[in-house]
Structure 1
Amino acid sequence: MEKKLIPEHLKLATLDSQGLTQNTPFGSGKNAVLTALEHLGYIQIDTLSMVERAHHHTLWVRIPDFQADYLEKLVEERKVFEYWFHAASYLPIQDFRYVLPQMLTIKRGGSRYYNADPKVMEYVTDTIRNEGPKRARDFENESHKTGSWWNWKPAKLALERLFMQGDLMISGRSGMQKTYDLAERVLPSFINTTEPTPLEFAEYLVKTNLRAYGFTTLKQITHLRTGNDLKNNVNKVLQTMLEEGLISQGKIEGFSSVFVRNDVLDKTFDLKDSNIRLLSPFDNAIIHRDRIRQIFGFDFRLECYTPKEKRQYGYFCLPILFGDQFIGRVDCKAHRKEKKLELIHLHIENHTLDVELWLNPFIETVKRFAVFNNCESLILTKISPSKLSIPVKKELSGLKFKK
């Protein structure tokens, strides 16, 4: 029997499950990064750098004392690894076996996206086995040797294919520069490397979604994954959990069937946190655009891939979460040489909200965000609606501070 679900309760439930209702939901320091990853399931990696990159930004929002080298250290300690979730991601090493189906599919030739010359793959593998970990640029240098019969591009393709099929793993990073090593030298010996059955894989996806979001749908569980077999197995897992009384099924406007953890349904939320949070466009909390639109009434999309003349809000907007509401977005750029964070265009979309309620928390958050981006001053270039220009610019523009 389907239960009547209250959107306001689900809104708080998903923010709470995402670690966005408390200041330090996962603790502090390096251990908090691992705890957050194990809870959320993954953190998306992205190369865009208008502000601090997405994987650091997403963790900083939840871990106030986050430092970029925490992730690098966890990779070196073999507690975290990189692979493809729905995009390039950091994942907890405990979940390694659940990427094996994709690795083995690619290894068996089941993907047309990772073509590489077998001879170059053999050369790259032998070089790393004999000489140790390598970066792509190491092979770029090799390609300039007299008599070389390969060049950098085939070597790069070989590295990517060997990584995607699991023969190589990323053993470390320097910024966005990856270092590859043999998987057998990176993966801890205690890790389960048994390929999960299709039903086990479906169970992993279901439980990861329910843990990280509090409620979910079939569409969200299978996000960017295809195949009727997977959908059928996900449905089997959901039915089993319904029978065991772990979850309930219900409907809310705009969604097909929604599945909710029963402990979430029974939980009372007392949101006293009125902080502002500036989220990355790739934050786990907003990756499902339908969820955010239907539950929060916030229609978000990243416009950096949209032609300039068709952009509505800006190139790289960050959603602004105030308590349990998305009140707008801000297009940002960190001018690193000048150590200045520019708020190119601040859009406040909740026009009924008194500016005095959100302005001071917003100022405190953007100051912290500027420091996070190694900036020492802030400038606000434009704000909408224009009637907010005087009070907001008075508080923000030219504001200087030290780290």
Structure 2
Amino acid sequence: MCDSLLVFEALLLNPTHIDIKDARKLCLHRQSLLTRGGFGRGPSATLAAIKQLGYVQLDTLTVVARAHEHTLWNRLPVFRPSHIEKLQLEGELFEHWSHALALLPMVNYRYALPLMQRIAAGEVHWNKKDKKETTKVLARIRNEGPLSSKDFQDKPQQKTMWSRSPSKRALEQLFMEGELMIPFRRGFQKVYDLRERVLPDWVDTSTPDSSEFARYLIDSHLQAHGFGTAKEIAYLRKGMGAKVKQALQELAEAGEVMPIMVSDSLYYCQPDLLELADQPLPRAGFRILSPFDNAIIQRRRTLELFDFDYQIECYVRKENRKFGYLCLPLLFRNRLVGRLDAKADRASGTLQLLHLQLDDQSGERESFYRSFLPELRRFASFNGCDKLALQRISGCPIGAQRFRDAVDG
């Protein structure tokens, strides 16, 4: 043990240094944000993108397109929400908890089992289990087939924002335990059915031990992000911090991962990543990102790698917001250069640009507009809009009128 510790300490003393520009390029390459054509087209491309990312977060906000659709649209040349419906019905995707509720590749189902089993054993996720209610709900679904919360007639016992009816709490509990799965949705309404009627026969249901689970977290993070710290890899994974650190040490000693330095921060990557650093990878043209995009969901990482201090402000009191309710990060040439608070007015077909804020002088360059305006119109079309309406622009006085003229024209 002492010898292996000495080997690990020696590795840490001599990490490979990566330039911040190369680090951004490698991260965005693994996040599939440099081009949109890497996965092909159709449902198979959507599945390949989700497998590369490891998960795609689900969220209820609909000010613009939902988070999972927005995230996939940014990575695919042609994306349709029906792709997800098809893949879910065919048993290629399932819904469960990653760091939040997410779409996950069915091939990785077994790595959701540790959390399911902890909750089934009594760990509280949202509410304490009501055994009488869960028994009743489970019996109805077993006898009647797939049901949604709307198929139950009881009401919340309180009128607070996050109150749920007893039946809905029971459905969520059974879902988190893995007794129920979501084979499809109606609109965005979850429909629940018994696991044995949803889970494909080919799925491995053996439970990974903590060491195997730690290695899975490392592999999936490095595949999706290129490099990461132990803290990033174990992000919101209860009790896994020490196991991930131990697994990283073992993998480093075996030469399967290596330490690198980016600026003053220590990360780990797989050795083949460094081969990409010298390749002429394209720069990201322009992307209007979801607040829940995999590339920026860990805000501290985003700050350290992109020098971009980002916060979604829908949870901030209106009078305290700086940029807007749903400020979308703007990615231009491998840099995060600002935010766009937007709202899709689908009834009038207008994408309302409530506040465009730029962090630097990108807005003074013609290349910025050549990239941004076509992407903005594409984003409007994706949101069911064919018109743009700009209300406010800040951070770039010289570029403000140019942008207004371009939008109005």
- TM (norm. structure 1) is 0.92
For residues 326 and 261 of structure 1, do their structure 2 counterparts lie closer, same or farther at Cα, with a shift above 3 Å needed?
A: same
Specify every segment of 5 or more residues in structure 2 that has no aligned partner in the other structure, as ranges: 1-10, 156-163
Native 8 Å contact 1:37 1:91 kept in 2: yes
Instruction: Kindly report which structure 2 residues correspond to 1:104-115, keeping only aligned pairs within 5 A, or say none.
Output: 104-111=117-124, 113-115=126-128
Aligned 8 A contact 1:275 1:322 in 2: yes
Write the deviation string for residues 207-262 of structure 1: whole angstroms up to 9, x where unpaired.
Answer: 010000000001101111233xx22321232122212322211333453x310221
- Between the aligned partners of 2:35 and 2:130, the Cα distance in structure 1 is 50
What corresponds to 1:26 in structure 2?
Answer: 39
266-275 or 36-45, which deviates more: 266-275
Matched, 1:261 2:274: no
Question: Is residue 403 of structure 2 the alignment partner of residue 386 of structure 1?
Answer: no
In 1, the alpha carbon distance for the partners of 2:129 and 2:258 equals 47
Residues 355-394 of structure 1 aligned to structure 2 (within 5 Å): 355-384=365-394, 385-394=396-405
Question: How far apart in 1 are the matches of 2:320 and 2:127?
Answer: 33
CA contact (8 A) 1:170 1:179 kept: yes
Q: Distance in 2 between matches of 1:78 and 1:352?
A: 44
CA distance in 2, matches of 1:202, 1:175: 35
Letter in 1 for 2:220: T
Counterpart of 1:153 in structure 2 is 165
Query: What secondary structure is seen at the aligned counterpart in 1 of 2:74?
Result: helix
Aligned to 2:214: 202
Which residue pairs with 1:148 in the alignment? none
Q: RMSD between aligned alpha carbons? A: 1.7
Deviates more, 1:159-168 or 1:230-239: 230-239
- C-alpha displacement of 1:352: 5.6
Q: Are 1:114 and 1:160, in contact at CA under 8 Å, matched by a contact in 2?
A: no
Q: Distance in 2 between matches of 1:269 and 1:329?
A: 30
Q: Could you tell which deviates more after superposition, 128-137 or 348-357?
A: 348-357
In the TM superposition, 1:54-73 aligns within 5 A as 54-73=67-86
In structure 2, how many angstroms separate the alpha carbons of the residues matched to 1:10 and 1:372? Answer: 30
Tell me if structure 1 keeps the 8 A contact 2:25–2:283: no
Q: Report the more deviating stretch, 350-359 or 29-38.
A: 350-359
Of 202, 205, 219 in structure 2, the residue corresponding to residue 190 of structure 1 is 202
Distance in 2 between residues matched to 1:57 and 1:210, nearest whole Å: 23
Distance change (3 Å), C-alpha of 1:352 and 1:170? closer
Structure 2 CA distance for partners of 1:290 and 1:102, relative to 1, 3 Å = same
Contact 2:289 2:328 in 1 (8 A): yes
User: For residue 40 of structure 1, what is the aligned residue in structure 2?
Assistant: 53
Query: TM-score by structure 2 length?
Result: 0.91
Output the CA distance in 1 between the equivalents of 2:247 and 2:131: 39
Q: Deviations over 1:191-221 (max 9, x none)?
A: 1111110001101100010000000001101
Q: Deviations over 1:89-113 (max 9, x none)?
A: 0000001000101001000102263
**Secondary structure in 1 matching 2:251:** helix
SS of the residue 1:169 aligns to: strand
Partner of 2:343: 333
Q: Is this contact kept in 1: 2:33–2:284, CA < 8 A?
A: no
Question: Partner residue of 2:110?
Answer: 97
Cα displacement (A) at 1:120: 1.6
Match of 2:248 in 1: 238
Alpha-carbon spacing, 1:272–1:260, altered in 2? closer, same or farther (3 Å)? same
Q: Pick closer, same or farther for the CA change 1:155–1:334 going to 2, 3 Å.
A: same
Amino acid at match of 1:118: K
Q: Aligned residue for 2:233? A: 221
Counterpart Cα distance in 1 of 2:228 and 2:194: 37
